[in-house]
Chains A and B, each alone.
Chain A
Amino acid sequence: SQTIHQWPATLVQPVGSPLSLECTVEGTSNPNLYWYRQAAGRGLQLLFYSVGIGQISSEVPQNLSASRPQDRQFILSSKKLLLSDSGFYLCAWLNLRRLSGANVLTFGAGSRLTVL
């Protein structure tokens, strides 16, 4: 069965420090991968998506970046965090071979980032 892992689950970082959030998917190949952010009390904001290794599309210009070094690994990074980067970050995957007429996303458990 397919599973998705995110880590770390929670972290507290000072302003100006770097960030690395990691997401891996098991039990599937060539998934579409997504990073979303959910600010406190707000809806979902798509940050990045990837259709393959090394292919990253950015939806919102900001100080975050994403990379996909392997087929089932998706990394969210920042060189210098801002206070506004605080939020709940969610990784998700979509297996194109199982569309069956509906694009169902499967989400990880999330990473809660607090920037102080």
Chain B
Amino acid sequence: GDSVTQMEGPVTLSEEAFLTINCTYTATGYPSLFWYVQYPGEGLQLLLKATKADDKGSNKGFEATYRKETTSFHLEKGSVQVSDSAVYFCALSDPSNYQLIWGAGTKLIIKP
């Protein structure tokens, strides 16, 4: 079945460092891919998405490119801030149903 694998956390960086959180997937169809963010004590929010190969999703300085050849959707940001500290979830949705397949989440800690 479909699955999503994220790098394990926590990931600890200093402010203004470059961020990459790896996400790879397996899917039989042509899924849409998502990154959600969960700030401490809150629900999840959609951060960005991509619906087809080579699409780039971007929001709040974060970017991720849908790479079909490597089945990846890595999250990147050029210069992180303390306020980016959160848990980041990678997910895919199969267009044939209404379920999302979730990665385990990666906790990001940014130190000033």
Query: Which A residues form the contact surface with B (CB < 8 A)?
Result: 6, 32, 42-44, 46, 49, 51, 90, 92, 94, 96, 101-110, 112
CB pair B99 A104 closer than 8 Å: no
Min CB gap B88→A, angstroms? 11
Please name all residues of chain B whose beta carbon is closer than 8 Å to the beta carbon of A43 when the two chains form the complex: 89, 102-105
Quick one: closest B residue to A107, CB to CB?
Answer: B43
The CA-CA distance from A100 to B43 in the complex, in Å, is 23
Q: A44-B105, A101-B32, A107-B44 are in contact. List 16 more A-B contacts (CB 8 A).
A: A32-B98, A42-B104, A43-B105, A90-B43, A92-B44, A96-B98, A101-B52, A102-B32, A102-B49, A104-B49, A105-B44, A106-B46, A107-B45, A108-B43, A109-B43, A110-B42
Q: Can you show 6 pairs from A to B with CB atoms below 8 A apart?
A: A6-B43, A43-B102, A44-B44, A44-B105, A96-B98, A104-B34
Alpha-carbon gap, A101 to B102, bound state (A) = 18
Whether A110 contacts B43 in the complex (CB less than 8 A), given A49-B99, A102-B93, comes out as: yes
Q: How many A-B residue pairs have CB under 8 A?
A: 53
**Does B95 belong to the interface (CB within 8 Å)?**
yes
A107 to B103, CA, bound (A): 17
The answer, among A49, A51, A96, A103, for a CB contact under 8 Å with B32, is A103
- Judged by a CB distance under 8 angstroms, whether B51 is at the interface is yes
Least CB distance from B6 to A in Å reads: 9
Is B11 among interface residues, defined by CB-CB distance under 8 A? no
CA of A102 to CA of B34 in the docked complex: distance in angstroms?
9
Is B100 at the interface (CB under 8 A from chain A)? yes
Enumerate B62-112 residues with CB–CB distance to A below 8 Å: 89, 93, 95, 98-100, 102-105
The 6 closest A-B pairs by CB, nearest first: A107-B43, A43-B104, A103-B93, A102-B32, A107-B44, A101-B51
